[in-house]
Structure 1
Amino acid sequence: MARGSVDVHVVRGDDGTIRIVTASPVGAPDFTRAVLDAAGAVLTWSVLGSPGLPMAEIHDAARAQQWLWAVYGERVAGAVHACATGELTDARVPTDPTPLAGSAARLGFGHWAARWWPASHLDGIPALQPDLLGLELAALTHECQQLFDDDDDQPDDCVAKLIGDHQVALDPLIQWWHATPPPTDTARQLESVLRSVDDAADGAGLDGPALRHLRSALTQPRRPDGTPVDPATLFARHDDYALAAGEPLVTGGRLIARGSGTNDWRRYPPGFVDASETAVSWTARALGARRQIEVEVVAHIAAPVTAVPLAAEVQVNDGPRNRVPLSRRVDAWTGRADLDLPAGDTEPRIQLGVLLPGFDPGPGPEGGADRDAVRALVRRRLAAAAQLDTHNSPSQEGTYGPFLAEIAAATTDEDY
């Protein structure tokens, strides 16, 4: 992050909300923004631009004062206080960027990666190992504790839960650390994460075999034996997944039309659907007097195998939107339903998307160019992570340097 002073716009809205407006674009799609819930405010960064100071929407200025000065500097904190007391409604204020601003940006990006990373067999983008990413998020959250307070309205202040949910990755993380030569950037990053997790677990009163092993490893002299390890193998998960497995969804009948649907990442949780633009496809067939649509959606490698209400939303010729229930068959979600087509209509205009009912915010703008920009971003990051693992001299994306999960993903030898 640049250390020079940058002006931000501090403004009080009619509803009392105070906004700190930076150069980040407004109105960008959800999947291009990193978001962090802090004490009394929500912080937002664009992941597609250069890392910088966040936008802030402050709903409780008194609570936010504990971290405002440490992220934006004292002048911005003073302007927010003046807005809160009614002395000021609008001001341009120079900032004094601080180390906490960089750590907060990295934490926000880590949460973005956990939610929006576009893992895809079709596009050749490997998934991030969730337990490895979760432990690094725990370490970063611990380092950014000044952003949070004791209230329970900050879901991103979740150190104990992150450690509890992802401690299965501690032993392989220690193995990776022991096998990595001390002078390297990766070794320093590994040790920093392990020590932060240990400190956070101690502060939260957590215990258990994995954490006791961690504490023992950190108190013993480290003697790397020079034996190389493959991070991708250390953290590999063996899922029941094989691309193009299972029987093809073919029902016979006369082919009317086929096409691709829209793969809007906002409409289902992470880990359900392959992120490729070509992951959603459909085929319309004539079966005597009936008209039927068959839907096939390539599943994410981590897609749940238990029953979930994933569905396709089908619209024919600008008519009503109808939902087709989908079921998982190893590597794909599939389903079929009858179509209501006007007599003689042999080339229907069909729009189709995939969603999880109850989670779905509804269809949004097309967004294909933004999704392509995200894919380009993660490909650059994976290339930098591979360079770091090999040469320890990556071209970093600002404060969003490669996470350990990205370094491990960049070394995978799976079919991506």
Structure 2
Amino acid sequence: MPERRRAITRADDGTVRIAGPSAGPAFTRAVLDVAGAVLTWPVLGPTGLPAAEIHDVGQAQQWLWAVYGERTAAAVDAVASGTPAAEPALPEQPTALAGAAARLALGHWAARWWPTSHLDGIPALERSLLGLELAALTHECQQLLDEAGEVEGVELLEEHLAALDPLIRWRQSAAPPDQLDRVLWLIDDAAETVGLDGEALRRLRSALERDHRPTEPLLDLAELFVRQQEFALAAGSLHTAIGHMIARGSGTNDWRRYPPGFVDSAEGAVSWTTYAVGAGRRIEIEVVADIAAPVGGVRLAAEVHVDGGPPHRVPLARRDDAWTGRADLDIPASTTPGFEVGILLPGFDPGPGADDRAAREAVRALARHRLGVAAAPHDSEAAGPDPFLAEIAAAAAIEEDF
């Protein structure tokens, strides 16, 4: 097998880059901030070793050799000093630290970009369950992290301690997931390392000291982990009795333009209708809300382009299980214009990007595949990446619902 090699370059600002697999839009990249660098893996397709942007080579040397190998660490040091270096060979198999880092990055990706959708039948991941596994993985990857990263791991653990008791009960069931014991031992070690204590952690230590003996053979994961119930779509229609419809369509659901938890991730979550109201024209917009969408205080907006013209901003308010809004448009009654409608959160929005519908559909397919693996972890035909505990619980919820 030929050696795999990776280009190492130095930018004008001194940043050293280790080339990696190409990645697409932000929601297809798993990113991890580490000591002195940022690591990036593509979420779609094979991952392997990450690409790296190293802004502090001295800090990065604490982990470079353990992720990429000693030759790469030496080459990075040489390139940072201005010495040209040959493209070093990479390890044939990712190291243990590289594998743990890739999993931690994927977990953070899931926390930000998991395509929760009632319309598409993709359930949400239980936040505290994912948070505890991320805390465990953060502790496992502590060699990679600077002080800020370690603090983030402690904060994750403190924030999600309420999910510890359900995890302990899950461990006592007839068929706990393979990785559950490792996650719990890592949580225990992380808490002991930073001096955390409390009733939940004491119960965890007591459980780990005892042999695993199933006490709950018929454990119902949907009951064990408090999950938000599926919601019904808003009934009725936003428009009033006046006017008549002249056009309707679907808008663009660009995940990058609002935070997670605001909008159902389905491609068809954004819809619009235009009406003739007297001599004027009115557009009414409805967006299916995510189950975790804020009820008050924060308002999304729709961005409406008419025939490619400048955008009209339409404020949206949460109504039942939808974001809705309307606006009068200055359009001659004799024309039939084309409309483009997108959704954004003012102040958060990075601006419209390319049309990434194919990439969004690929992410949905990935989520469905991972849920399938989670539902049949010992099925050789469903072999794939190890699911997170939150994915296993979500897959169980799907089986119960259907």
Q: Shorter-chain TM-score category?
A: over 0.9
Quick check: 1:362 aligned with 2:362?
no
Q: Relative to 1, partners in 2 of residues 1:411 and 1:276: Cα closer, same or farther, differing over 3 Å?
A: same
Residue of 36, 51, 69 corresponding to 2:32 = 36
After the TM superposition, which residues 234-273 of structure 1 pair with which residues of structure 2 at under 5 Å, given as runs? 234-238=224-228, 242-252=231-241, 253-273=243-263
Structure 1 segment 112-191 matched on structure 2, within 5 A: 112-150=109-147, 152=148, 154=149, 158-181=152-175, 186-191=176-181
The 3 A distance-change label for structure 1 pair 333 and 376 is same
Please give the per-residue CA displacement for 1:293-348, whole angstroms capped at 9, x wherever unaligned: 11100011111122212111111112211211111123111111111213412x22
Q: Is the 8 A contact 1:121 1:415 kept in 2?
A: no
Residue 348 of structure 1 aligns with an amino acid whose one-letter code is P
Given that 1:38 and 1:147 are in contact with CA atoms closer than 8 Å, whether structure 2 keeps it comes out as yes
Q: Say whether 1:303 aligns with 2:293.
A: yes
**Structure 1 position 233, deviation (Å):** 2.5
SS of the counterpart of 2:41? strand
Post-superposition Cα deviations, 1:161-216, rounded to whole Å, max 9, x if no partner, equal 111111111111111110034xxxx4431111111111111212222222222222
Give the Cα separation in 2 of the matches to 1:342 and 1:199.
Answer: 69
Contact 2:116 2:264 in 1 (8 A): yes
d(CA) in 1 for partners of 2:151, 2:31: 13
Is the Cα contact below 8 Å between 2:238 and 2:324 reproduced in 1?
A: yes
* TM-score calculated relative to the size of structure 2: 0.94
Q: 1:164 to 1:246 in 2, by over 3 A?
A: farther
- Cα-to-partner distance string for 1:63-95 (whole Å, 9 max, x where unaligned): 00000000000000000000111222x531101
SS of residue in 1 equivalent to 2:330? coil
Residue 397 of structure 2 is aligned to residue 412 of structure 1: yes
CA–CA distance in structure 1, aligned partners of residues 273 and 401 of structure 2: 27
Query: 5+ residue gaps in structure 1?
Result: none
Deviation at 1:37, TM superposition (A): 0.3
Distance 2:36 2:293 in 1: 35
Residues 415 and 352 (structure 1 numbering): CA distance in 2 closer, same or farther, change over 3 Å?
farther
In 1, Cα distance between equivalents of 2:166 and 2:379: 21
Instruction: Report which structure shows greater RCO (CA 8 Å, sep ≥6).
Output: 1
The amino acid that maps onto 1:381 is R
1:321 corresponds to which of 285, 289, 311? 311
2:66 to 49, 63, 70: 70
TM-score, normalised to structure 1, is 0.91
Q: Deviations over 1:220-255 (max 9, x none)?
A: 33321252212232113245x622234421223111
Counterpart Cα distance in 1 of 2:165 and 2:236: 39
Structure 2 CA distance for aligned equivalents of residues 364 and 133 of structure 1: 29
- The CA RMSD measured in Å over matched residues stands at 1.9
- Specify the SS of the correspondent of 2:61: helix
Amino acid at match of 1:380: H
SS state of the match for residue 376, structure 2? helix
* One-letter identity of the residue aligned with 2:136: A
